[in-house]
Amino acid sequence: SFAILDSGVLVASIQCWPVRLDKAALILVGPVAVATRFQNSGLGKQLMQLMLDAATPQDPPMVMIGDPEYYGRFGFEAEGTSGWTLPGPWEPRRLLLRNSNMVALPTHGMLGPTD
C-alpha cells in the first residue's frame, strides 16, 4: 500500500490486501483513492505504477474491481474471472485480474479473506 502526501496531508492512496480464491493466494488491489481537488492530475496512475514497481515475481496475481477501460493499461483484464464470485454486489465485467506470471488459478470460486 502507498500514500501520497501534500504538505503532510493525505491526498491519494492505494491499498493492497492478501485474499484467497479457494487455496490460491491473490493480492486484492483497492481502493485507489485520490482527493477530489487532485483528481485528473496523474496521482492514480502514479500510485498504480508505484504498486506495480514494488511487486516481485514471487508475488501472487493481483485482482481488483475497477473499470477495464482504465486499468487495462496496467495489465488488468476480466479474462479468467467470469467463474469467480464475491460477497455482496459487484459487476462481473469489473472484476479484473493481473496474472503476469500466468499462475494457474481456479476457474470457479469465491474470493475471500486469508485464514
The CATH number assigned to the domain holding 58 equals: 3.40.630.30
> Which structural domain range is residue 75 located in?
2-113
pLDDT digit string, tens, across residues 18-60: 999 999 999 999 999 999 999 999 999 999 999 999 999 999 9
3-state secondary structure 63-105: EEECCHHHHHHHCCECCCCCCEECCCCCCHHHEEEECCCCCCC
Residue 38 has what DSSP assignment?
A: G
Residue of 51, 60, 54 lying closest to 32 (CA atoms): 51
Residue 61 has what DSSP assignment?
A: P
pLDDT digit string, tens, across residues 62-108: 999 999 999 999 999 999 999 999 988 999 999 999 999 999 999 99
| SS3 label, residue 16 | strand
Q: pTM for the whole thing?
A: 0.93
pLDDT of residue 115: 74
- The count of domains in the chain is 1
